[in-house]
Amino acid sequence: KQEVTQIPAALSVPEGENLVLNCSFTDSAIYNLQWFRQDPGKGLTSLLLIQSSQREQTSGRLNASLDKSSGRSTLYIAASQPGDSATYLCAVNPGNTPLVFGKGTRLSVIA
């Protein structure tokens, strides 16, 4: 059974700092991996999708990497801003079953 773990559960950083969020999964047989952002009480916003054949994807200040063989993905946020404060969720897609989510990392960027 696929399990997704996100570490740390919460993170607080000063504005301007670069940071890394971690996601690990137990079964490397995945089709793709998706990173989402969730503001309190709101829905999920898709940030980046990495196909299993890819190593990384970039969008603006965000860079996500995927190491399928070791069951790990990281989300790198450059030059963090207070507006980046949110919960970040990682989800793996096994391909023939629904997305499996981690519990998320709650990020606070302090001005």
Partner 1 sequence: DAGVTQSPTHLIKTRGQHVTLRCSPISGHKSVSWYQQVLGQGPQFIFQYYEKEERGRGNFPDRFSARQFPNYSSELNVNALLLGDSALYLCASSLRDSIGELFFGEGSRLTVL
The alpha carbon dihedral of 89, 92, 98, 103 has a sign of negative
- 108 is a site residue for partner 1 (CB under 8 A): no
Contact by Cβ (8 Å): 14, 84? no
- 18 is a site residue for partner 1 (CB under 8 A): no
- 105 is a site residue for partner 1 (CB under 8 A): no
Choosing from 45, 58, 59, 108, the residue that interacts with partner 1 (CB under 8 A) is 45
Min CB(79)–partner 1 separation in Å: 26
Min CB(42)–partner 1 separation in Å: 6
Q: Calculate the CA 7 to chain-centre distance.
A: 10
- 96 is a site residue for partner 1 (CB under 8 A): yes
In the bound state with partner 1, the residue whose beta carbon lies nearer, of 76 and 101, is 101
Tokens of 87: 């919960």
- 36 is a site residue for partner 1 (CB under 8 A): yes
Q: How many CB atoms lie within 10 A of CB 37?
A: 19
Whether residue 8 is preceded by a cis peptide bond, meaning omega within 30 degrees of 0, is yes
Q: How many DSSP H helices and E strands does the chain contain?
A: 0, 11
Interface residue list for partner 1 (CB under 8 A): 4, 31-32, 34, 36, 41-46, 49, 89, 91, 93, 95-99, 101-104
